[in-house]
Structure 1
C-alpha cells in the first residue's frame, strides 16, 4: 500500500516541483532585467530642483510600497495555496490507496467464486448428496453476493471521489501558478520603482541625500511638540491598553535601527507591515501580513485615544502602517535605504488607528 501512496503522490508532487522551479527561473529573470529609468522630461526637472526630486522619490516610494503590499498579499495567498495543494495531494494518495485496497478485496472474492465453480444452483441442488447442507451454503453465497454488491458500490463511490480530488488538486495548481505570476508582477513593479528612486537620489548632491535620509516621510522633524496643539496635541505618553500591546511596542522598539527590506517580516529586516506582524508575533498575537488586512485586525479607536501598541494606518488605501509608541510618535519601517525608526505619528495622512 505504501507503494500506491508514493506513486500517486509523484505526479502532483512533480507538478508542484515544476511550478516552484518555474518560479525560481522567473525570479532570476526578473533580477537580471535592466532597471527601469525615468522619462526624459523627469531628468530635466530632477537636475534643477532638489525639492522636485524629493517629491518624485516620495511618490515612487509610495507607489513601490503599494506594490509591496500587493506582493505580500499575493505571496501569502501563494503560501496558503501551496498548503492546500499538499493537503489535496495527500488526499489523492489516500483515495488511491483505498481504491486499490477495495479492488484487491473484490478480486479475491471473484477468484474464490471462480474456483468453486459457477454452477447453476438448481443443478447443484439436484446433484447434491446433502440438500440441506447445500441450501445452507447457498444462503451463505447469497450473503457474499450481497456484500460484494455493496463493495462494488463503495468502490464506484471511492473512484468518483478520487476523480473529484484530482480535479480539485489540478484546479488549485492552476490557481497557484496564476498567483505566482501575480507575485512576480508585483515584484518587478517594486524593483522598477525602487531602481528609478535610487537613480534620482544618486543624482543629488551628497548634502541633499543626507538631508533626505534624515527627513521623515513628510519632510518634518523627528519629534512632535505637544504644546503646538493640532490633532496630536492632546496625546500623552500613556501606558499600553493591554499587556500584548505593551509587549508589541517593546518588540518594535528593539527593532529600531534594523534595515528596511521589502517583503521582509524579520527578524533582521522589515517592511512596514512585516514589522507590525513580527512585533505582535513576539507578543503572542498573530496579525495578517498586509497593512490593508491589519487595518481590520482589531478595534478602531480615535487617534486622540491612541495607546502604545496601536497600529496607525496611513493613506486611504492603507498602504503604510506604523506602531504608536507614545509621545506622539510611531515606530515604522519607512522605505528602502532607511532603517526602522521613530517618526511623528502625523507624518502622512492617517486613515485609521487599530488596537489588536
Structure 2
C-alpha cells in the first residue's frame, strides 16, 4: 500500500542510509547463521576430497553443528513458550481491527480483505482509501463502551461472530506533562489503555466461544519499557497495555488454551502517528516500515501461533536495558538521544494540515 502521506524530514541522504544493524543481521541469518548454508561449507570441502581431520573441515563442521544446535534450541524454546499452533481457515475467520482506517491497521485489513477473509474495521476516522475489498468499516469510538457493544452486535449480525481481535488504535498528544490538559490526559489514557479493556470485555465472549480457537493481537511499544520525554501519557498507557496482555495470556492459558496471544512491541513506525519524530540512531534504531510489522503479525495469525514480535532488532532485547546499572542506563540514554526524538513532532495534524481539521493526536492507526 503506497502511503499518501509526505515523508517526515530526514537527515541528508547518502548511499549507506538504508544500512542498519537489522539489515546486517537479516543477511547473516539467511547465510552463515542458517543451518542449511552452514552445512554446505563442509560438504563443499568433502567434494574437494578434503579429509575429515583437516583443520578447515573440523572448523566448518563444528560451526555447522553449533548453528544447528542453536536453531534446534530456538525451536524447542518457542514450543515450550507458546505451545502448539491452532488451525486457521481464513474463510471462517472474522477479523476485528481497531484503529484500522489508516497506517498499520489499514495495511493488515487490506491484506486480509484481498485474501478473502472477513474484516471489520473500527475507527472514528473515515477509511484512508475510502473502501477496501473485503473490509467493512464501522464508525466507532473505542473509548465509548455503549458504541462498542452496539457495533459488536452489528458485526455479529453482518459478518458473524469475531474470531480474531487486533487492538491497534492509539493517539499521541506529544506534549510535556506540564503542557497536557487533564482532558487530554484522560483521552490519551482512555484511547491507549482503557479501550483495550473495553474491546476485550466486548469481544472476548465471542472469541472464547469459537470451537476452532481465536487470536488476540495487542500493539504495544518499546516506549512502554523505556519511557521518553514528551511521551509520559503514551509510555504509561503502553506499559499498561503490555502488562494487560501478559496477564490476560496467563488467564486464558488456564481457562481457554485454544486462544492464541500475539504481543507486538515495535520501535518507531513510519506512520502518521509519529510524523516528524526523528530516530535517535538510524543504524541501531531504524524506523520500522508498517509493511514489515504487518508481515510478522499476519504470519503469526496465519500460523495460529502465540508470539512476541519485537521490531527492529533492539526491541527484542530492550528488557535487558533495565538490568544494566542505573548509571550506565543514564549514559546509554543520553547517547541514544531518545529524549530528543520528539523535538520535531507534529503528529497526524501536521500531515493533514490544509486538508482537514482535527485535533492534534486524533485516534489513528499505529
TM-score over 0.5 (shorter chain): no
Higher Cα Rg: structure 1 or 2?
1
Greater fraction strand: 2
TM-score by length of 1: 0.23
Which structure's residues are more often helix, by fraction?
1
